[in-house]
Amino acid sequence: MSQMNIIQSVNSALDIILEKDPNVCIFGQDVGYFGGVFRCTDGLQKKYGKHRVFDTPLSEGGILSTAIGMGINGLRPVAEIQFSDYIFPAFDQITNELAKLRYRSGGEYWAPVTVRTPCGGGIRGGHYHSQSPEAYFTHTPGLKVVIPSNPHDTKGLLITSIEDDDPVIFFEPKRLYNGPFDGDHKKAALKWDTHPKGEVPEDYYSIPLGKAAIERPGNQVTVLAYGTMVHVAREAAESSGIDAEVIDLRSLVPLDIDTITGSVRKTGRCVIVHEAPRTSGFGAELSAQIQEECFYHLEAPIARVTGWDTPYPHSLEWEYFPSQERVIESMKKVLGS
Amino acid sequence: MSKKKTLHVPDAPFRPGEKPDFSNLELPKAGDAKRPKVMVEPSEIRDLAFSLVRVLDDKHEAVGPWDPKLDASVLKEGLRHMCLLRIFDDRMLTMQRQGKLSFYMKSLGEEAVAIAQGMALRPDDILFPSYRQPGLQFVRGRDIVDMICHCITNVKDNVKGRQMPVHYSWKEGNFVSISSPVGTQFPQAVGCAMASAYKGEDNVSISWVGDGTAAEGDFHYALNFASVYKAPVLLNVVNNQWAISTHKNISSGGATFAARGIAYDVPSIRVDGNDFLALYSVTSWAAERARKGGGPTFIEVFTYRGEAHSTSDDPTRYRPKDEWKSWPLGDPIERLKAHLIGLGAWSEKEQSKLEKELDTLVIKSYKEAEKHGTLSEGPWAPEDTLFEDVYKKPPRHLRKQRQEFGF
């Protein structure tokens, strides 16, 4: 075990998989010589060679389309999109091609592409360095969608995603790269070395997709979150004294519905928290499924604490970003107090 | 007073009711284009992007440095594939009109593209076609019963009835699954070629888009990535003058499509798309260059779309009826046939015998295909296959939906 932040855990996962599988190659803007704008691929080109870890033209559609072609020809590409806000030029290649290739060819062709992309807000990123576009991809059959919340899970989930023969969109909450963040932007920044999940095995290990983690056990209300919001929800429970069960979904597709329904049947109440805008966000899907599965156990309407239905703002970031206060208020509301 | 500025919107040269006249079309003479060494610097052959590689002259004789000097048996094989494609297309169109297929797209006038280019490649070269190169499958020996089963989407359709007709996939033939979004396959072919280079294999990838699709962003991604990584790939724009109803004058304001390749520093060659020998020759040249590490070649295949865009299109609404008959580069089948006859290797008699034989083969294959089900009566792919292949294994939510559906 050693102490790692998420950047180091991503780097460690990539290092291990490059060593293990000669068909893995890594590419994207600035990922090669420079080692990535977030340092996630630092040192990998030097260690494995230019043909295995390389820089690309500034072209998201080009990155994804060539990744698909490489996947078709037997490689296992790990493509990086520098910010998830810039994944949209590649949207056609991801949703119409990558996601549908296996299905449309009757299983003859597929491309085991992993797309790594930093997501989420809380970093003064404004419109185009803060988005959480996961719902566009959870809505597309054929894709798997993963969002870790800590260094330990990041490494295990990333290794699993790369080894998976299905395409995976792997969102990395950039607000968490260097340390956990509970939504209190006035507090001094924390580092992962004070957090138990900052302890990461140096060797190969994997965490299955489709398995949620109970971040904080509780009995009064179930709080569903992923990415940065796991830490906001956890701290909201701690500081309010509400006995909330906080679940870190970890993968949205496939979804661990058993863990979710098990918890909601126990607590009878549910609050869903995500950074992305509310309308047609992933919270709507969670809410619908819980209503279908747990109707007779629900003591209150399911609540959603989300980003507003606006573009992500710059100066009013902390009015947009779902705060501990909003989570607490929502938990109190579903508890009827 | 000066003329007021207004938005310039190009038009097609001829519209319904007008008489097409292509006498102003600049057509360099057969044999005129130089044939450079395969490892030539792109900057040395810029003229080839504005010229037209032609081998068959007006007397149907092979002339000039691009003559691939193919054995008559190879030419006869090419003629046979082209005739089969045309007869296959005609039969399938009839079947579509009778409601036995939901949709079809013909390759009339463009038969040489897939056949000659396909024959110039090796079986391990990987094909990323658009929907108008089905002929590649004939070249690689696909059972036409299987092709028909796909088109009538019966139980033997290897893509399990999931895609519209003509969206073939054939792994064994290295013919990558066709999709409807235009141009997406172009940069994928580049990635595929990059993987061949990565693995140290000497096969090449090849892709085709139409003149209309050359306006998509994917076109640019493909040329740029191919150029940057010197990918062993052949990128073709089949300029058949029409993108559904849109004339190529709207797709491109430029001189030629091939000219675009120059800016990417990719060797770019314009070729007579109705000349089997020229197409074969240029494709062999480009494939050899790619195999030797010379990187990509960009090819503009200059031809004319003889038929409607698809069975859902009526071209008499936007272009003169039979405009194709005035096309100065003629009919690829007639030209190769005349060449073979000129060589003394073929005759009209043998031609009609061949056509009859192929027609019988297609009808027989069609009947054979219908034994595996029809569009209206089935059997189709079993209903539970609806949920297969979305992922390698259906995740829980899909297994649940399958149960909900009754399986």
CATH of the domain at B265: 3.40.50.970
CA A190 to chain centre: 20
Chain A residues whose beta carbon lies within 8 Å of the beta carbon of residue B191: 65-73, 77
- State the SS3 of A311-336: CCCCCCHHHHCCCHHHHHHHHHHHHC
Residues 363-392 of B with CB under 8 A from A: 388-392
CB-nearest partner of A69 from B189, B228, B389: B189
Query: Tokens 């100065």 sit at which residue?
Result: B328
Task: Report yes or no: A203 and A153 within 8 Å, Cβ to Cβ.
Answer: no
Q: Which residue of A has its CA nearest to B381?
A: A106
Residue A9: which pLDDT band, with cuts at 50, 70 and 90? very high
Residue B5 domain flag: no
- Percent of chain B whose predicted confidence (pLDDT) is above 70: 100
Total structural domains within chain B: 1
Query: Does residue A202 register a pLDDT over 70?
Result: yes
Task: Report yes or no: B238 and B209 within 8 Å, Cβ to Cβ.
Answer: yes
Residue B317 domain flag: no
Residue B122 domain flag: yes
Residue B89 domain flag: yes
Contact B191 A57 (CB under 8 A): no
Average per-residue pLDDT for chain A: 98
Tokens representing B210 are 């139409």
What's the pLDDT tens digit per position in B88-131?
999 999 999 999 999 999 999 999 999 999 999 999 999 999 99
In sequence order, which residues have a C-beta less than 8 Å from that of residue B161 and are 6 or more positions away?
B153, B154, B380, B381
Residue B31 domain flag: no
Residues 246-285 of B with CB under 8 A from A: none
Q: Which of B169, B182, B188, B207 to mutate to test the interface with A (most CBs of A within 10 A)?
A: B188
CB-nearest partner of A72 from B170, B176, B187: B176
Q: Which residue of B has its CA nearest to A253?
A: B395
In sequence order, which residues have a C-beta less than 8 Å from that of residue B362 and are 6 or more positions away?
B84, B87, B88, B91, B144
Q: Which of A27, A48, A58, A66 to mutate to test the interface with B (most CBs of B within 10 A)?
A: A66
In terms of residue numbers, what domain contains B124? 46-311+324-376
Contact B189 A68 (CB under 8 A): no
Alpha carbon distance B53, B39 (integer Å):
18
Residue B35 domain flag: no
A127 as an active site residue: the answer is no
B172: left (phi over 0), alpha (psi -120 to 50) or beta: alpha
Contact B177 A66 (CB under 8 A): no
Task: Report yes or no: B188 and A94 within 8 Å, Cβ to Cβ.
Answer: no
What's the pLDDT tens digit per position in B190-233?
999 999 999 999 999 999 999 999 999 999 999 999 999 999 99
What's the pLDDT tens digit per position in B257-300?
999 999 999 999 999 999 999 999 999 999 999 999 999 999 99
CB-nearest partner of B396 from A73, A141, A254: A254
In sequence order, which residues have a C-beta less than 8 Å from that of residue A293 and are 6 or more positions away?
A257, A261, A264
pLDDT number for residue B2:
62
pLDDT number for residue A250:
98
The enclosing H or E element of A137 equals helix A134-138
Contact B160 A106 (CB under 8 A): yes
Residue B399 domain flag: no
Q: Which of B124, B175, B184, B207 to mutate to test the interface with A (most CBs of A within 10 A)?
A: B184
Chain B residues whose beta carbon lies within 8 Å of the beta carbon of residue A75: 195, 198-199
CA A12 to chain centre: 18
CB-nearest partner of A69 from B157, B179, B191: B191
Strands (E) in A195-332, as ranges, are 199-200, 213-216, 221-225, 244-248, 251-253, 270-277, 303-307
- Amino acid (one-letter) located at B94: T
Task: Report yes or no: B309 and B242 within 8 Å, Cβ to Cβ.
Answer: yes
pLDDT number for residue A143:
98
> In chain A, what are the domains?
2-200 (3.40.50.970), 213-335 (3.40.50.920)
Task: Give the mean pLDDT of A171-182.
Answer: 98
Rounded (5°) CA angle B175-B188-B270: 80
Residues in chain B: 407
pLDDT number for residue A337:
83
Alpha carbon distance B112, B92 (integer Å):
19
Alpha carbon distance A181, A187 (integer Å):
9
Query: Does residue B1 register a pLDDT over 70?
Result: no
Query: Does residue A269 register a pLDDT over 70?
Result: yes
Tokens representing B217 are 């962003």
